[in-house]
Structure 1
Amino acid sequence: MNKRIGALALVAASAVALAGCSGGAGAGTETGSQGDELDSLTGVIGSKDFAEQYVLAYITTELFRAHGADVEANIDLVGSTNVRQAFENDEFLGYWDYTGTGWITYLGETEPVQGAEAQFDAVAEADLEQNGIVWLEPAPLNNTYALAGASGTLEDLGVSTLSDVAALPADEQTFCIESEFSTRDDGWPGLRDAYGFEDSTALLDTGIIYTATAEGADCTFGEVFETDGRIPAMDLTVLEDDQEFFPAYQGSFTVKQETLDEHPAIADVIGLVSPLLTTEVMQDLNSQVDVDGEDPEDVAIDWLTEQGLI
């Protein structure tokens, strides 16, 4: 715990100095340059295999480059476990992960911690103590699991919470979910038992779930991720998890303690971007990729430029 406190203190200790050298858009002496705090940093930024992760990897890569690093992004690995293993094997110098995933998938906990701040503190302390991995201060975004329905359908049914759904007749409780969600401790088995849902599910690929839910073809309700840009694009509405079953999935850049000790400015540079990454911002960035078909690297560069960060 002392190491974590020391690592996080680096952000506050040097924030003023870093702000002075970054200075906003156009402050660098070269095109896109904001400083040279990371001029000795080299390596690869990792990513999982979906749009949000691609965008976050490119945001980090371009931001680090603007501060002097020689880094590139790798978006080729599939699955949380594979990316985490590559990180632990030093194939990546860091990547963005989610507090709920860290707690349940990597640390093997079965009971989520209620409350975003408490969940972050729990995973950050445990992962540092057990594995020497630092979770930098998280972004406001919460890419948690959720159930959603077509907005018009929810209005017709008169439901806005998951408890409302549980009170519906059995034939109106139909759910589209993906295979991983169907077996996770923080997925369907626990959710079904917590709310008393009917066990009427259709297993679909993630992308198809959004379309099927919007059309009401295979199900009335579908499993979604709250930062997914297809939620507003397809006029879906997320149902309130009024019993707070799902853990928080705040995004945080993860890095080994030894790497942070050698390059403490990593925490400061991430601190420039992390507070800006809200759920609504990520929905918009994800929508540009998943709905509009834009390249995630272009989306990342355009957004960083708009923010005056490169």
Structure 2
Amino acid sequence: MRRARRSLPAAILAVTLTVVVAGCGLISSSGNLRNGTLPGGDTPLAGADITVTSKAFTEQVVLGKITATYLAAAGADVTDMTGAPGAASSRQAQLRGETDVQWEYTGTGWVVYHERTESLSDPHELWTRVHDIELADNNLVWLPPSTLNNTYAFAASQGTAQRLGVSSLSDVAKLPVAERTFCIDDEFFSRSDGFLPMLKAYGIPFDTANGIPQGNVTRMDSGVIYTSTEAGKPCNFGMVFSTDGRIPNLNLKVLDDDRKYFLPYSGSVVIRKSVLDEHPAIEKLMAPISSKLNDDVMRELNGRVDIDGEDPADVAFDWLVEAGLVEPT
């Protein structure tokens, strides 16, 4: 059976870094892929050469390692280019045909890559629209998405949620003014799909005595928001990313976006059409991975890396084994 290629050695990394600075090429993330086999030993991708990439933040690296490990277990000769620096580099590499497979988010495809402003709250509709545009414009296939949704959300500590009796953003809108206190970062405050439009969607006027006075909003670094929310000061409600590992670690309660304000950022495997045409088994192989991934799973996996300090390759392999998708060799 073909094995996964190791991540690039140091000498090649030095050369690659020079290329990155020049504006093209990618650097793979640290850590080697762990070898496994599919249950039953099938190798539907024997003879396939596939390059997997990802962006550099934790969730993307974990998803990339899951994909690279699984495709290698299915017999592919995989080049691991996960952890590409900068959000644009992995995208551009795939558009240039230098890489084959990566995970993306439907909201990113809609807003960032195609600059669409129409708000679509239905995850399937958004995926369909992005899928059709990407296939027509870029010959990229967005496979059916998972239910993991890495979007903005608001959370409270369990104690705060119980004290105030809130489980949704509509509940927050009904609270006394003094209890409507928020921690957010500067970007979210100024985004066209961020804080101020959210307040409007929930019927809460900003900078008014009976709505949200400016003193009720504290702007801070996004990393500090989680601990401030857990402490319940200076805010009852903090902006979070819905799949962040700090949510379970700090036992935060994510509030339901019951008016469906936030755009879905559903995770989807994106593959070059020519590669999928040559190796159609990839779509069937990736389906069970997408079906098993959700917000709770990603919070746990992200937390194992960011909080427990585990290697993303180990986290990915362990999850594949636990999910019954890969057997150790």
- Structure 2 length-normalised TM: 0.78
Are 1:113 and 2:120 an aligned pair? yes
Deviation at 1:218, TM superposition (A): 3.4
User: Which residue pairs with 1:256 in the alignment?
Assistant: 272
Mapped to 1, the partners of 2:217 and 2:77 lie a distance apart of 47
* Structure 1 residue 60 corresponds to structure 2 residue 67: yes
The CA distance in 1 between the partners of 2:181 and 2:275, in whole Å, is 47
Equivalent residue runs for 1:1-310 within 5 Å: 25=39, 27-28=40-41, 34-43=42-51, 45-195=52-202, 196=204, 198=212, 199=214, 200-310=216-326
Gaps of 5+ in 1: 1-21, 29-33
Give the Cα separation in 2 of the matches to 1:248 and 1:56.
18
Matched position secondary structure for 2:189: coil
Measure, in 1, the Cα distance between the counterparts of 2:248 and 2:162. Answer: 16
Residues 69 and 111 (structure 1), Cα distance of their counterparts in 2 relative to 1, 3 Å cut: same
Shift in CA distance, 224/69, structure 1 to aligned 2, threshold 3 Å: same
Instruction: Give the match's secondary structure for 1:35.
Output: coil
* Residue type at the aligned position of 1:230: R
Answer with 1 or 2: which has the greater Rg: 2
For residues 182 and 88 of structure 1, do their structure 2 counterparts lie closer, same or farther at Cα, with a shift above 3 Å needed?
farther
CA distance in 1, matches of 2:224, 2:85: 18
Between 85-94 and 49-58, report the one with greater CA deviation: 85-94
Cα contact 2:142–2:271 (8 A) shared by 1: yes
Decide whether the 8 Å contact of 1:100 with 1:112 is kept in 2: no
Q: Distance in 1 between matches of 2:200 and 2:159?
A: 27
Deviation at 1:35, TM superposition (A): 0.6
How big is the shift at 1:60?
Answer: 0.4
1:245-276 CA-to-partner distances (Å, cap 9, x unmatched) read: 01222110011222222222221221232111
How much is the aligned-residue C-alpha RMSD, in angstroms?
A: 2.3
Judged with a 3 Å threshold, the aligned counterparts in structure 2 of structure 1 residues 127 and 203 are, in CA distance, closer, same or farther, namely: farther
